[in-house]
Amino acid sequence: GGRGQRNQDYPMASMQPGFRYSHSASRPNTNPYGNPHKEKLIKNLASMSSRERVKAIQKTPKTMKEKRVLMEKTKKSVSSSTQINCCTQCLYKTALSYQRFKNGMSEYLHLLQLWQKTLKVIGGKFGTSVLSYFVFLKWLLTFNIFSFLVNFSFITIPQLIASGPNNLSFNGLELLTGAGYFKKTVLYYGFYTNFTITKTENNSSYDMQLAYIFTIGIYFIICFFILVYSMAKSFRKNFINPQTYSGSAAKLLCIWDFNITNEKAVKLKQSNLSTQIKESLSEVTLEVLNLSPKQRIARIAVHLLVWMASLGIAAACCAGVYFFSRNNLQLENEAATLVLPIVVSLLNLLIPFCFALFGLIEKFQYPRHQLYLLLLCRNVFLKIAIIGILCYYWLNDVATSEKECWESLVGQDIYRLIVIDFIFCLLASFFGEFVRRIIGTKCCKKLGVPEFDIARNVLDLIYTQTLAWIGIFFAPLMPAMQIISFFIIFYVKKVSLMRNCQPPRKVWRASQMMTLFIFLLFFPSFTGVLSVMAVIIWRRTPSKQCGPFQGLTSIIDAVSGWIHILDSYSSSKWVVWIYYNLIGSVHFFFILTVIVLIITYLYWQIIEGRRIMVRLLHEQIINEGKDKMFLLNKLRALQTSKLDPPKEQQEVSSKAWVFLCCSHSLDK
């Protein structure tokens, strides 16, 4: 079988058009590039395009050294046979220089990313589940930096230009309470004026009412699109095509970066890859529990009892928070106002530990199920319920009270909640991780070193970010507090993680957790904030003696008055039409919601279709492999058999190899 032997040596080359080997090419040759067959091969390669040439050389069954020599000879042949004019050569060099400049800039920008090396160390030692918390914290930090720049540029700076000196004294307690000296600063809503700021040099004016409401409104619109885009991008990456980003074979064979030469960087990369491969393999080795009907009923009963206990605890916490908040409104002592935030922070700190004990009773098989259930259902419900009770208290008790400036009072409450929660977060890192490690290593060694509590820490971030979004209207500089606290929290959590915590006992991959975190930040956190903002703008009467909207029956009247003024100008009719037919129309938002739901449904159907296609292709690949093994066994049986004549054996071998080559091309 000369032709069968040739196809066996070069199965892929035989499938390339214009790419032929003779029978002598399969024989050993001391000078492989000096025969006429190789010259013909170089000529055929030179006639191809650059992409086809690279693919053809990659598929040749030769060593890397021989392929490089073949590529160099082909390039020389192309350069000698093709005459490039000056203009084409100049354009080619320009494009090449631009590509090199782009690659260099991307490398420098990658090095300038915040905490890049720290995140690699954390991911290499503790895995992607713990790393996802720090990535989420970094993402929220950039979010708040953007928010601070927007509010400071369009709201705070104009007010600083027109404001006078602050005559109140500072005693230090304001750092905890947010009252006293801070009342007469740009931190709170009540300090901002409702006048139009005018510059006498060129008679330019700046309407603080419109600047305040439009800045906050446009900021929330931008946040909405950023959250939707980030959620869709993360969902597409981790749910639609996760094999592209987390293939075990690709990690094992193709992911090493040969540009790494530093010894520490090499060890860090090895540790990171080792942890990623362990996480991928852990999902393959999962075992499914086969429970009897009695065991299933017992497990369902335990879940129901735990859920009833969790809901009862959350309801009791909400009742306690509302009781303390009603008493907080009557307090005159500045230090006594810290009672409510301390109670709320204690509940947020202690109740999740109670829920974690419930998780031990339920005995989850997979750590991902335990994390998702505790994170998505119980802790989220607790924290959102507490925030909902506080919002009800602010909008129905504080807003309808006879206080001089209820907006600033709400801002002070949110300030105290964020500051006290930040202090409790630091105390939790000390007592919950440092002291716990000392006890587990010195006193009670059975406890061991603690693990990093992802669910509790992530919910703390979402809780404080929700409060900051609500507080942006009442305290425009609230994002500055978030920036400072997130910086400190990152380094405290990093040090505590490295010194006090151990890697997870059950190694598991958490590539989809970032999608879950962004989804929880969008719903119910961000959507709830939008609902609160809608009630404030459309349903609540602003204070009569402070703030940019004093004297109006509702905040939206500032926009309505501006639209009424624009209606008298013919050049601004399009703005009036957009306001009345789009922004002020309920039908428009109803149609927009229906369109979003339809697009979401179609997107989901596309995802399901791709999943089915991936599953069918996997099954097809498995079947093709079985067919090849069957044919190879038949070939071996025919070759060892002495009963069949050589001609018939050669014919069967040729047909089998044709089938193998065709199936290989289909796989490609």
Residue 251's pLDDT is what? 58
The residues with which 197 forms a beta bridge, in sequence order, are 206
Q: Tens digits of per-residue pLDDT, 89-140?
A: 677 778 778 877 777 776 666 666 788 888 888 887 787 778 888 999 999 9
Query: Which pLDDT band, with edges at 50, 70 and 90, does 17 fall under?
Result: very low
Residue 579's pLDDT is what? 84
Sequence-distant (≥ 6) Cβ neighbours of residue 160 within 8 angstroms: 186
Q: Do 453 and 519 touch, CB atoms closer than 8 A?
A: no
Please give the average per-residue pLDDT across 201-207, as a whole number. Answer: 73
Type of residue numbered 285: T
Between 166 and 256, the more confident residue is 166
CB atoms inside a 10 Å sphere around CB 636 = 10
Residue 28's pLDDT is what? 45
Please give the average per-residue pLDDT across 58-68, as a whole number. Answer: 81
Please give the average per-residue pLDDT across 202-206, as a whole number. Answer: 73
pLDDT at 12 over 60: no
What gap in Å lies between CA 379 and CA 358, rounded to an integer?
12
Residue 306's pLDDT is what? 85
Ranking 12-16, 124-128, 455-459 by mean pLDDT, the lowest is 12-16
> Average per-residue pLDDT in the chain?
79
Type of residue numbered 73: K
Ranking 66-80, 164-178, 532-546, 557-571 by mean pLDDT, the lowest is 66-80
- The region that residue 363 occupies, defined by phi over 0 for left and psi between -120 and 50 for alpha, beta otherwise, is left
Between 444 and 185, the more confident residue is 185
Ranking 2-6, 113-117, 436-440 by mean pLDDT, the lowest is 2-6
What does pTM read for this prediction?
A: 0.74
Alpha helices by DSSP H, listed for 152-186, are 157-162, 174-177
Residue 24's pLDDT is what? 39
pLDDT at 201 over 90: no
Residue with tokens 């080619």: 92
Sequence-distant (≥ 6) Cβ neighbours of residue 324 within 8 angstroms: 339, 340, 343
Ranking 21-35, 405-419, 489-503 by mean pLDDT, the lowest is 21-35
DSSP string, 321-371: HHHHHHHHTT---TGGGGHHHHHHHHHHHHHHHHHHHHHHHHT-SSHHHHH
Residue 346's pLDDT is what? 93
Cis peptide leading into residue 524 (ω within 30°) = yes
Helices (H) and strands (E) in the chain, counts: 26, 2
Please give the average per-residue pLDDT across 508-535, as a whole number. Answer: 82
DSSP letter assigned to residue 448:
-
Query: Which pLDDT band, with edges at 50, 70 and 90, does 233 fall under?
Result: confident
Residue 355 burial (C-beta neighbours within 10 Å; 0-12, 13-18, 19+):
buried
What gap in Å lies between CA 404 and CA 410, rounded to an integer?
12
CA distances from 597 to 587, 600, 601, 607 (A): 15, 5, 6, 15
Please give the average per-residue pLDDT across 600-622, as a whole number. Answer: 83
CB atoms inside a 10 Å sphere around CB 262 = 9
Query: Which pLDDT band, with edges at 50, 70 and 90, does 527 fall under?
Result: very high
Q: Do 62 and 16 touch, CB atoms closer than 8 A?
A: no
The residues with which 656 forms a beta bridge, in sequence order, are none
Q: Tens digits of per-residue pLDDT, 384-393?
A: 999 999 999 9
Residue 245 burial (C-beta neighbours within 10 Å; 0-12, 13-18, 19+):
exposed
Pairing mode, strands 196-199 and 204-207: antiparallel
| Residue 319 token pair | 């009742």
Query: Which pLDDT band, with edges at 50, 70 and 90, does 653 fall under?
Result: low
Q: Which of 146-150, 272-276, 604-608, 642-646 holds the top average pLDDT?
A: 146-150
CA distances from 271 to 121, 123, 247, 601 (A): 9, 9, 18, 41
What gap in Å lies between CA 191 and CA 432, rounded to an integer?
40
Please give the average per-residue pLDDT across 451-461, as a whole number. Answer: 85
Please give the average per-residue pLDDT across 215-223, as a whole number. Answer: 93
Short-list 187, 200, 188, 193, CA closest to 164: 193
SS3 per residue for 375-422? HHHHHHHHHHHHHHHHHHHHHHHHCCCCCCCHHHHHHHHHHHHHHHHH
Please give the average per-residue pLDDT across 597-623, as a whole number. Answer: 83
Ranking 36-40, 156-160, 297-301, 547-551 by mean pLDDT, the lowest is 36-40
pLDDT at 5 over 60: no
Short-list 502, 412, 414, 405, CA closest to 463: 414
What gap in Å lies between CA 546 and CA 286, rounded to an integer?
62
Q: Tens digits of per-residue pLDDT, 236-256?
A: 776 665 454 445 555 566 666
pLDDT at 521 over 70: yes
DSSP string, 519-539: HHIIIIIIHHHHHHHHHHHHH
Q: Do 533 and 555 touch, CB atoms closer than 8 A?
A: no
Sequence-distant (≥ 6) Cβ neighbours of residue 60 within 8 angstroms: 10, 12, 13, 66, 67, 70
